[in-house]
Amino acid sequence: MSQELQDLKVAVIADGTVDAAEAAQIRALIFADDVIDTEEAEFLFEVNDAVSGNDNCPEWTALFVEALTAYVLADDTTPGVVDADETTFLINAIKGDDVVDATELALLVNLMVEAESCSDELIAFTLEAVKAAVIADGVVDAEEVAMLRAVLFGSGGAAGAEIDRSEADMLFDINDATTDNEGHDAGWIELFVEAISSHVLDDAESPNEIDEAEGDWLTGRIEGDDTYDAQEKALLANIKAKATKINGKLAFKMDMFA
C-alpha cells in the first residue's frame, strides 16, 4: 500500500467520517492501476470499520461496493464468481467489528446481483444479514423491498432467478417477525406472494402443482406463528388461482382461508 494511502487512512480515521473529497482521493489512489489488490481491499474494510455508523458521504458506500465487487469478481482465477477463499476473506472482514453495517450489506447485495455465482456459505451469510436488517425496525419499507428483490432474483443468489427453500424461508421469517406491524410498503405483499408462489409452482418436480411435501411446508410455515395474516392469505389466494392441482391437507386449508 502506498504511503499516500496510509496517510489518508490515518486522516480519515482521525476525524471519524469519510467526506466526498476523501472518497474521491481514495478512489483515485486505489483505481490508479485499474486493479484492486488485497492490501487495498483490507484498507477499505479497515476504514469502513473505523467510520461505521457515522455521517459518511454516499460516495463512500458507492466506492466501497464498486471496489470490493471488482476485487472478488475481476480476479484472474475465478472471474465473475465468489469462490471459497474470497468468501472466507469477505465474511472475516465483515465480521471483524461484529457488525454488518449498511455499507457492507450493500456490498453483499451487489454481489448477489453481479456475480455469476456465489458460494453457498456467502449466500447463507447474506440471507441472514438481509433478514436481520429488514427485521430490525419491524417494517418492510420500499428500500428493503428493492434490496430483497435484488437478492432473491440476482444471478448470484441461492438459485439464481429461481426461489429456493432457503430464500422462501427467509421471507416467511421476515413476515412472521413483522406481521403485527403496520406501515409496510405495498411492494412487500407483492414480493412475498410472487416469490413464495414461484417457489412452489415453478419447481421442476411438480410444476404448476402443490405436491404433498410443498403443501405440508406451506401449512407449517403459515401456521408457525398461529396467524393467517394478510400476506399469507394473499399467497393462498394466488396459489389457489394458479395451481392446476393442490394435494394434501393444504387443499382443505384453501377452502377456509383463500
pLDDT above 90 covers a percentage of the chain that reads 83
Residues 15 and 106 in one domain: yes
Asked whether residue 142 is domain-assigned, the answer is no
Confidence check: pLDDT of 161 > 70: no
For the entire predicted model, the pTM comes to: 0.92
Q: Is the pLDDT of residue 95 over 90?
A: yes
- Considering the domain architecture, whether residues 114 and 1 belong to the same structural domain is answered as yes
pLDDT band at residue 218 under the 50/70/90 scheme: very high
> Are 106 and 19 within one domain?
yes
Q: Which domain holds residue 257?
A: 147-152+159-258
Q: Is residue 79 situated within a structural domain?
A: yes
- Stretch 131-141: mean pLDDT, rounded? 95
- The larger pLDDT score, comparing residue 111 to residue 255, is at 111
Mean pLDDT, rounded, for 174-203: 94
Contact between 30 and 69 (Cβ < 8 Å): no
Q: Are 108 and 132 in contact (CB under 8 A)?
A: no
Mean pLDDT, residues 120-148: 96
The count of domains in the chain is 2
Please give the mean pLDDT across all residues of the chain: 93
For residue 128, tell me if it sits in a domain: no
Alpha-carbon distances of 51 from 6, 45, 57, 66, 71, rounded to whole Å: 16, 10, 11, 18, 21
Closest by alpha carbon to 155, among 124, 112, 193, 119?
112
Among 180, 172, 226, 160, which residue's Cα sits nearest to residue 196?
Answer: 172
- Do both 85 and 14 map to the same domain? yes
pLDDT at position 29: 95
Domain-embedded: residue 129:
no
User: What is the per-residue pLDDT across 184-195, written as a single tens digit (0 to 9) for each?
Assistant: 999 999 999 999
pLDDT in tens, 8-59: 999 999 999 999 999 999 999 999 999 999 999 999 999 999 999 999 999 9
The pLDDT value given to residue 252:
79
pLDDT at 158: 58
Same domain assignment for residues 112 and 47: yes
Residue (of 176, 169, 102) closest to 140 by Cα position? 176
Note whether 245 and 251 are within 8 A (CB).
Answer: no
For the residues of 206-248, what is the DSSP string, one character each? STTEE-HHHHHHHHHHHGGGT---HHHHHHHHHHHHH-SEE-T
CA distance between the termini of the chain: 61
The reported pLDDT for the residue numbered 258 is: 60
Q: Are 78 and 119 in contact (CB under 8 A)?
A: no
Do residues 5 and 91 both lie within one domain?
yes
Residue 31 lies inside a defined structural domain of this protein? yes
pLDDT in the model for residue 181: 82
pLDDT for res 250: 87
- Give the contacts of 81 (CB within 8 A, at least 6 positions apart): 73, 115, 116, 117, 118
Nearest to 82 by CA among 154, 153, 156: 156
